[in-house]
Amino acid sequence: MPRTAEYEAKQTKAAVTKTAAYAALSAKTPIEPFQFERRAPRPNDVAIEILFCGVCHSDIHQARDEWGGSIFPMVPGHEIVGRVTAVGSSVSKFEVGELAGVGCMVDSCRVCENCKEGEEQYCNNPGCTLTYNGRDKNGEVTQGGYSTGIVVDENYVLHLSDKLDLAATAPLLCAGITTYSPLRHWNVGKGSKVGVMGLGGLGHMGLKFAHAFGAHVVQFTTSQNKVADAKKLGADDVVISTDATQMAAHAGTFDFILDTISAPHDIASYLHLLKRDGVLCMVGAPDAPLSVPVFSLLGRRASLAGSGIGGIRETQEMLDFCAEHGIVSEIEMIPIQKINESYARMLKNDVKYRFVIDTASLKNGSVAG
Ligand code: NAP
Ligand code: ZN
Ligand code: ZN
């Protein structure tokens, strides 16, 4: 809708909500208690009481400013699930009391080619508004889900099934869609041989989806203690990626490999596992460039690709697919007070397989917890 002066004036008069949260105040300090104000719902907004929020490795990259350009104070969190507490006068898709989810973006231009095609994550104008560590159309800094509530335009809010465990649904909003989208885009299914690199939050969802789509799935991991779990989660085979003999046994056999590794690593040893015309798709976002041996690509007409989260329409499709097939994340629930410990454990690959914050731990009357 047009943002008239009258409309803007009404908004500034409307009530804002004091919100308890945890935030990074700088790149060098731990996440700590914080309080801020959420905007009053605008006509198209949905206000959501946050019940659970997943902890993504992107939260660590951004809270520590590993990608550059971080905005502080920063309330991380983009795997948000909760219940609608209020709706603006023009909202038609949600009702008070309904479950609702919010992922990595809360707005986009809506008129560029990518937005029109439902790929808002690739908005050209100038980019989608990230759920946190972003700026909205009014220049306000966005704040994420390590908090008690959020206010989001209904077009960027997802419907959740009450058939699934709610806390275990939260990671679907980022880890789920980020792995579902490329597997769908490259038509992974029956007859495909698929590799998943890294068994963390994204990796275990990629494994579950590739298995559910009927592919033959090989999980690559550096962690011996995850082998049995990988098989339970759907891997037909598990390869310890540091073992050259195990790696060589798969040379030239993969149609598609999904790289979810969070730190700089050697992709050369995976590129030669691709078949002719195979694709290695990066979703992991290490903070330093990777080195690409071009002969590994041209020797098999291979593609090195990348994929970022997924559009709103596809995120809803993924959530509906999960509801139909009973797919959720494997989680370890934490109170917000354990957030810094959970970051330290993720950095040691000690996550099985997603930490999820129970935001009741923020609501005990004190933000100091
Ligand atoms: P995570 O839960 O910490 O999992 C990462 C896994 O990568 C680890 O558990 C480990 O698996 C493996 N790993 C870590 N360091 C490694 C190293 N040095 N060498 C080899 N393997 C290593 O992280 P996540 O939340 O899944 O996120 C993964 C990455 O995806 C992050 O960089 C994140 O920012 C990015 N991301 C991108 C998008 C997107 O839109 N493209 C969206 C969300 C997240 P093993 O123990 O099995 O070896
Ligand atoms: Zn994420
Ligand atoms: Zn756009």
Q: How far is the CA of 307 from the centre of ligand 1 (A)?
A: 14
Mean pLDDT score, 280-287: 98
Does 17 share its domain with 142? yes
Does 13 share its domain with 52? yes
> Candidates 209, 349, 351, 352: which one to mutate for ligand 1, based on the most atoms within 8 Å of Cβ?
349
* Closest CA relative to residue 92, chosen from 26, 31, 142, 159: 159
Does 131 share its domain with 242? no
Domain-located, residue 312: no
Quote the percentage of the chain above a pLDDT of 90: 94
The reported pTM is 0.95
For residue 14, pLDDT over 70 is answered with no
Give the tens place of pLDDT for each residue, 124-166: 999 999 999 999 999 999 999 999 999 999 999 999 999 999 9
Domain boundary among 256, 289, 306: 306
> Candidates 55, 57, 243, 329: which one to mutate for ligand 1, based on the most atoms within 8 Å of Cβ?
57
Tally of structural domains, the chain: 2
Judge if the beta carbon of residue 169 lies within 6 A of ligand 1.
no
Q: How far is the CA of 118 from the centre of ligand 3 (A)?
A: 9
Does 142 share its domain with 59? yes
Does 194 share its domain with 161? no
Does 86 share its domain with 28? yes
Does 102 share its domain with 122? yes
Domain-located, residue 148: yes
Does 92 share its domain with 188? no
Residue 286 Cα: closest atom of ligand 1:
32
Q: Residue 219's domain is classified under what CATH number?
A: 3.40.50.720
Q: How far is the CA of 349 from the centre of ligand 1 (A)?
A: 8
For residue 5, pLDDT over 80 is answered with no
Domain-located, residue 317: no
Domain-located, residue 99: yes
Give the tens place of pLDDT for each residue, 295-351: 999 999 999 999 999 999 999 999 999 999 999 999 999 999 999 999 999 999 999
Domain-located, residue 114: yes
Q: Domain limits at 100?
A: 5-174+331-364
Mean pLDDT score, 78-94: 98
Does 68 share its domain with 155? yes
Does 129 share its domain with 63? yes
For residue 365, pLDDT over 80 is answered with no
Domain-located, residue 320: no
Does 38 share its domain with 16? yes
Ligand nearest to the CA of 110: 3
Mean pLDDT of the chain: 95
Judge if the beta carbon of residue 201 lies within 6 A of ligand 1.
yes
For residue 63, pLDDT over 70 is answered with yes
Domain-located, residue 326: no
Does 354 share its domain with 272? no
Confidence of residue 15 (pLDDT cuts 50, 70, 90): confident
> Candidates 60, 104, 260: which one to mutate for ligand 1, based on the most atoms within 8 Å of Cβ?
260
Judge if the beta carbon of residue 131 lies within 6 A of ligand 1.
no
Q: Which two three-digit tokens encode residue 350?
A: 């000690």
Residue type at 20?
Answer: A
Give the tens place of pLDDT for each residue, 206-230: 999 999 999 999 999 999 999 999 9
Residue 265 Cα: closest atom of ligand 1:
19
- Predicted local distance difference test score (pLDDT) of residue 201: 98
Judge if the beta carbon of residue 56 lies within 6 A of ligand 1.
yes
Domain boundary among 257, 273, 306: 306
For ligand 1, atom 12: residue with the closest CA: 198
Q: Residue 129's domain is classified under what CATH number?
A: 3.90.180.10
Judge if the beta carbon of residue 238 lies within 6 A of ligand 1.
no
Q: How far is the CA of 79 from the centre of ligand 2 (A)?
A: 7
Mean pLDDT score, 173-196: 99
Domain-located, residue 165: yes
